[in-house]
Amino acid sequence: MRYMTAGESHGKGLSVIIDGVPSGLTIDFEKIQSEMTRRQGGYGRGRRMQIEQDAIDVRGGIRHGYTTGAPISLFIENKDHTHWKQVMQAEPLEEALERPRTLTRPRPGHADLVGGLKYGHRDLRDVLERSSARETAARVAVGAIAKQLLAQLDVDLFSHVRSIGGVDAEAVDPTTRRELIEASPVRCADEAATEQMMRAIDQAKKDGDTLGGEVEVVVTGLVPGIGSFTQNDMKLDSRIAQAVISVNAMKAVGFGDGFDLARRPGSTVQDEIIHSEAGYSRRTNHLGGIEGGMSTGMPIRVQVAMKPIPTLYQPLQSVDIETKEPFTAQIERSDACAVPAAAVVLEAVVAFEVAAAILEMFGSSTMDRLKQTIADYKEEVRLF
């Protein structure tokens, strides 16, 4: 299973093609739309989310409510394109017209300058428009379909925010607080920390600044053995790590107890193996449900650190690429904090990688065959 996205932040919209989804997967369109709405929410979002509706337009691969096995084509319209038609038009401008809203002062922390150097763009908007986090709307749509596939296989996943702007949530078992997480404006399982995080976001917005934070994604219900130790690109943790780091503004990833594992002796971090009538399991889950690049059957725990969004309303110093003179960076519309929304995006990319790895292991062209193959494997593992 694979996918590809196309489109720009202020272009006509975002296109997605997903290939390799088995036939016979029942699609709940309301659930897809719910995922799109979740991405638009979260305390600290900017005005763009008041404009967009992120309605999904299915253009192929789904018929009468189920997948056909053909590539799935989706389109998400950019409502804000109405105000950017000339700026983003595909056709050449009239000779007498200058390019509108040209960007020549790159923003520190963005792709602007390096993208211009790589692709030779003198107008850095040609970089900004594609490198924008608007593209993550397409990835949430992909993840929404992957989630529905996983749900058919009794695999569940969710995210929660562990910190924002230096405010840390209490260490609790998030699986027992799902409703609280979904109700929290910052997707946090700690009510006291939620209030502190919101105050920190308010202050950052007032100061023209931005805040980052840390998100954890948890996957439950996986059978052991998803992934492989035989090649580096087949390891489940390496695939998940690449996927989450590819999301805009993500700068670090950990599994299980994460970076804390490096500070403790081995006797306190390895997960001892036990056996019962149900099969093998672990006493603990310090390693986050993955050993040797493969799922162990324990919950997979992935932590991701997000830097503060680099577009600031009190911009940092930059250089105009035309005059080479020092200037403050150009201001574009931004969020004070997008960590809660990023949590939804991270769920989506993890869901896709897990679903893709399952299909590689149990490859099947129909959902019925896939379910039967996995059921047979579960029994084989139980009796091993």
Known binding-site residues for FMN equal 130-132, 248-249, 292, 307-311, 333
**From the annotation, which residues make up the binding site for NADP(+)?**
39, 45
Q: With helix as H, strand as E and coil as C, how does 308-354 read? A: CCCCCCCCCEEECCCCCCEEECCCCCCCCECHHHHHHHHHHHHHHHH
Is 343 in contact with 143 (CB distance < 8 Å)?
no
**From the annotation, which residues make up the binding site?**
39, 45, 130-132, 248-249, 292, 307-311, 333
Report how far Cα 238 is from the mean position of its chain's Cα atoms.
Answer: 15
Q: Return phi, psi of residue 178, to 5°.
A: -60, -45
Side-chain half-sphere exposure of 76, counting CA atoms within 13 A = 27
CA quadruple 85, 88, 90, 93: dihedral, nearest 10: 80
Is 140 in contact with 344 (CB distance < 8 Å)?
yes
Sequential DSSP letters for 50-97: HH----EEEEESEETTEE-SSPEEEEEE-GGGGG-HHHH-SSPPPTTP
Is 127 in contact with 112 (CB distance < 8 Å)?
yes
